[in-house]
Structure 1
Amino acid sequence: MVSATGPPEPVPLPIGASPVVAIVSSAGGLAAAGLVLSALPSDLGAAVIVLQHVSPDYKSVLPAILGKLTAMPVSAAYDGQPLVSGHVAVAPSGRHLLVTRDRRLALIASGPYPPSRPSADLLLATLAVAAGPDVIAVVLSGRGNDGATGSTAVHRFGGTVITTDADTSHAFGMPEAVIDRIGTVDHIVPLDRVAPLLLGLLGRPRLGRPA
């Protein structure tokens, strides 16, 4: 069920699942991703992937920045890296980030030309195939429509799709493109409700409340 003002009581993922949270964004997304990660505990119980559009010739400092904002360990993704619960893997510049069928990360050169780099669509589509209903896709601020096709794949394979709303998205292009795919989005929430919603979906008590 789509929520426009606040998340409904979320349905936790099945016991025994190995959830993967993929947070994708572009313009304005760094601050948004940092806000979400800062509200998540070190023992989240899910692997986390963060993808932010960045020029391929730019040396990304995202792992260092995000590592100061979250209790979870953060590192740049590397080829063959397994998805580990409670760890944040950040897509590096100059590479598209994909997920293999055994839930490992794979890097391929993005090249000098668009599509958006790294591609949210490639990440989400391959993650959907690899992890199906264990996937939670979170589309934050960004221009363009990257992530809409990938989110559709996540929905098609039984995963959950979350976007921020227009009022709390610095750039609403990416969330809006996903929302325009009718039936794809499960939750449309303000930015400050994303982390509590994730905790609910993962069967965790919200921070600051007794277990």
Structure 2
Amino acid sequence: MTDPRAVHSPGEGYAAVAIAASAGGISALETLLGELPAAFAVPVLVVQHLDPRRDTLIAEVLARSTALTVKLAEDGEEPRSGVVHIAPPGCHLTVVAGGALALSDAAPVHFVRPSADVLFESAASAYGARLLACVLTGTGRDGADGVSAVCRYGGTVIVQDPETAQFGGMPMAAVGACPEARVLPLEQIAAVIRALVAAPRR
């Protein structure tokens, strides 16, 4: 992939918000997304671990809690501002060169597909310092390698406080992988995301 640091300057602001969650994540996503406005200036990309053997109503469930448009991501589509693009069950969600979304049935990573690591690593490569990544409640360590990549590319990482998360495994692993991450209670994360996206970057 093209090095995004050669394409995007820091002054352009954030290009996307990527969020990962697992156990307890639906409720956490409802809280966070419910505080983002319909006119949110960037796309939101979500990996929530789901049972691939079952049809999912996650888009419909989350849509009841937020003013944003919520949909399952589609292969080849362009991410849109004010839209939450959710990885479908059983598919990795990635951002490819040029910014389009891609779905893959490649092998699970850390036993899960979709994987937060896959999303974060591809988005970090595509957006560089213009990516804001967030890890919410969940078990295991999915997302830790991904936030490490986000940090290396100069992006911003926010992690739900493991002490207040319903399941602290993923947040704890993320903090360990990116010590400079902002660690916040769930109820404060949306306000910080809104402020970061709205603020001009130097």
Contact 2:108 2:115 in 1 (8 A): no
Equivalent residues in 2 for 1:134-149, closer than 5 Å: 134-149=130-145
Q: Who is 2:79 aligned against?
A: 83
Q: Who is 1:157 aligned against?
A: 153
Q: Which amino acid aligns with 2:12?
A: G
Contact 2:10 2:129 in 1 (8 A): no
Q: Who is 2:185 aligned against?
A: 190
Q: Who is 1:171 aligned against?
A: 167
Structure 1 range deviating more: 139-148 or 52-61: 52-61
Contact 2:16 2:130 in 1 (8 A): yes
Contact 2:23 2:139 in 1 (8 A): yes
Q: Which amino acid aligns with 1:83?
A: P
Equivalent pairs counted in the alignment come to: 191
- When the two chains are superposed, the root-mean-square deviation of aligned CA atoms in Å is 1.8
3-state SS, counterpart of residue 134 of structure 2: strand
Q: Who is 2:197 aligned against?
A: 202
Q: 1:112 to 1:43 in 2, by over 3 A?
A: closer
Contact 1:148 1:178 in 2 (8 A): yes
Q: Distance in 2 between matches of 1:113 and 1:125?
A: 12
Contact 1:56 1:112 in 2 (8 A): no
Q: Who is 2:31 aligned against?
A: 35
Identity percentage over the alignment?
38
Higher helix content, 1 or 2 = 2
Q: Who is 1:62 aligned against?
A: 58
3-state SS, counterpart of residue 104 of structure 2: strand
Q: 1:182 to 1:196 in 2, by over 3 A?
A: closer
- The normalised TM-score by structure 2 is 0.89
Q: Who is 2:121 aligned against?
A: 125
Structure 1 range deviating more: 94-103 or 140-149: 94-103
Contact 2:116 2:143 in 1 (8 A): yes
Q: Distance in 2 between matches of 1:27 and 1:195?
A: 19
Q: Which amino acid aligns with 1:87?
A: V
Contact 1:22 1:50 in 2 (8 A): yes
